[in-house]
A = this chain, B = another copy of it.
Amino acid sequence: MKRHIRFSREDDTLLLLDQRYLPGAEKWFLCRRVRDVEEALQEMVVRGAPAIGIVAGYGCCLAAATTDETDPQWQEQLLEKMYRIAESRPTAVNLMHVVDRMHQAWRTDPDISLSDLKWMWDRLAREIHNEDISANKALGGYGLELLGEASSVLTHCNAGALATGGYGTALGVVRAAKSAGWNIRVIAGETRPFLQGARLTAYELWQDDIEVRVACDNAAALLMQRGEVDAVLVGADRIAANGDTANKIGTYNLALLASWHSIPFYVAAPSSTFDLQTESGRDIPIETRPEQEVTHVGSELVTPPGVPVYNYAFDVTPADLISAFITEKGVIRPPFAGAIQTFLDKG
């Protein structure tokens, strides 16, 4: 996969591969200011918790680039822009983590000039991006241990290159297996309403020559019953201190179905996805997105006009349905209570 998040320091622009048009067309979305970044995140030009975080980092750089140093209020203005970025999506914790980290860096030198801050942030945003890719590769290696003999993996949504800095969490494990010469096949659940599985997971695996087949979300139980699924492997948007995991709507469905069929259910996520401030899944805010995503597929209307719809973007999978977490620091096995904190501290 080519890089899908491209920041240019020379002209202070952020180019994003627009995921709304995939797989039909490869269009690029140009961000020059914070408003563009907000739009890119809210309209799902880029989605996926780690990718959102990376874009937020570069977004802070754009915020700095579009702030006027001669204005005596430039610091307040910049801070206000950072808040806007941090609040553009509610569920993924990576977004808050990255904005926090940019803010922390600034606070180490509160009297820094705007041009020096720009320079510092540029380095930091790239570092966050590169760290993500390295973390995913490390995570992929740990995932291999767990996968064992599994050759057919069901995944949900897109926890791949397009959801991260460029390698993938759940699909990072798949890429690691492929690199290791394993014979691995992926079933991509199509993931209504936004169809990230059908559109994005299938796209990036097909590009990387990894065997992939798309299934409607409705087919999951049948495929498990038929023995076509050795393991379920998903990403995460936020993991609470007790292990409850928010991820794309439909993940909780799959966790229950996997549990019933005694199929391991793995969550692959960088440690930045853990949110120790959030005690349990009950405390994770679940984003509700526009009805249009359900009532239409592309330009095709699929519900009668006027009929209301549900569009919760995420659900929470209780920790006790999760077989293990795969992180860049290693694997966390149940019981998770306490173990998560200890594990993260250790790293």
Contact = CB atoms under 8 A, between A and B. Distances in A.
Contact of A222 (B206, B294, B312): B312
A190 B260 CA distance: 24
A260 B221 CA distance: 14
A297 B302 contact: yes
A210 B220 CA distance: 31
A132 to B, nearest CB: 25
A306 interface: yes
Given A190-B192, A221-B253, A222-B249, A215 B304 contact: no
Contact of A203 (B212, B221, B304): B304
| Chain A interface helix/strand/loop/mixed | mixed
Nearest to A321: B260
Contact of A303 (B202, B253, B310): B202
- Assembly of this chain: how many copies? 2
A222 B309 contact: no
Given A192-B190, A222-B315, A253-B257, A300 B303 contact: no
A302 B199 contact: yes
Interface size range on A against B: 35 or more
Given A214-B309, A214-B310, A309-B215, A252 B222 contact: yes
Contacts of A192: 190, 192, 216-218
A180 interface: no
Interface string A253-271: 1001100100000000000
B308 A213 contact: yes
A306 to B, nearest CB: 7
Nearest to A204: B304
Given A190-B192, A191-B218, A220-B253, A300 B297 contact: yes
A299 interface: yes
Contacts of A24: 301
A270 to B, nearest CB: 24
Interface string A182-225: 00000100111101001100110010000011111111111101
A202 B252 contact: no
Nearest to A308: B213
A332 to B, nearest CB: 23
A22 B158 CA distance: 31
Nearest 8 Cβ contacts at the A-B interface: A218-B250, A298-B300, A23-B304, A297-B297, A222-B315, A221-B253, A192-B216, A215-B310
18 contacts: A23-B301, A190-B302, A192-B218, A193-B218, A202-B303, A206-B304, A206-B307, A213-B309, A214-B294, A214-B308, A215-B309, A216-B217, A216-B249, A218-B248, A218-B253, A221-B256, A256-B260, A298-B298
